[in-house]
């Protein structure tokens, strides 16, 4: 969702991926794959994200370092809340659009049925 608002930038894609998958930890390769960010680009970003406390290293799995979103970070909390509210608004807007479309289709059917009746 963040990409839709803030644009298609590697940092936004990474945060978007981590927010959507905030209950799990991932290796850098998994984050790169899931966010569609090149690994070298992600490696350049990791230290900055760790430094400001937006992500945290959770453990090591073999040689892989595992990371997740820092849920206690106030900025992360705000971004997560924003993402949730944005999702709600987009879902509501889509449901309203579908309702209007359904009403138009129903009206069209009624109009067609009346036209068919008048011909007989």
At the second CATH level, the architecture of 2-119 is Orthogonal Bundle (1.10)
pLDDT at residue 120 in the model: 59
- How far apart are alpha carbons 58 and 75 in whole angstroms? 19
Count, residues in the chain? 120
3-state secondary structure of 69: strand
User: In 10-73, which residue ranges form alpha helices assigned H by DSSP?
Assistant: 10-20, 28-35, 39-51
Tens digits of residue pLDDT in 28-46 = 999 999 999 999 999 999 9
Q: What share of the chain is helix, strand, coil (3-state, %, to 5)?
A: 70, 10, 20
Percent of the chain with pLDDT over 90: 68
Q: What is the pTM of this model?
A: 0.75
- pLDDT tens by residue, 57-84: 999 999 999 999 999 999 999 999 999 9
105: left (phi over 0), alpha (psi -120 to 50) or beta: alpha
**Residue 102 scores a pLDDT above 90:** no
């Amino acid at each position: 969702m963040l990409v839709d608002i803030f644009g298609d930038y590697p940092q936004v894609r990474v945060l978007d991926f981590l927010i959507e998958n905030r209950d799990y930890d991932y290796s850098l390769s998994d984050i790169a794959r899931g966010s569609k960010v090149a690994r070298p680009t992600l490696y350049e970003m990791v230290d900055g994200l760790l430094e400001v406390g937006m992500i945290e290293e959770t453990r090591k799995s073999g040689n892989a370092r595992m990371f997740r979103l820092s849920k206690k970070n106030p900025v992360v909390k705000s971004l997560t809340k924003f993402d949730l509210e944005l999702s709600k608004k987009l879902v509501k807007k889509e449901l309203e659009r579908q309702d209007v479309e359904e009403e138009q289709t129903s009206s069209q059917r009624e109009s067609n049925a009346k036209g068919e009746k008048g011909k007989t």
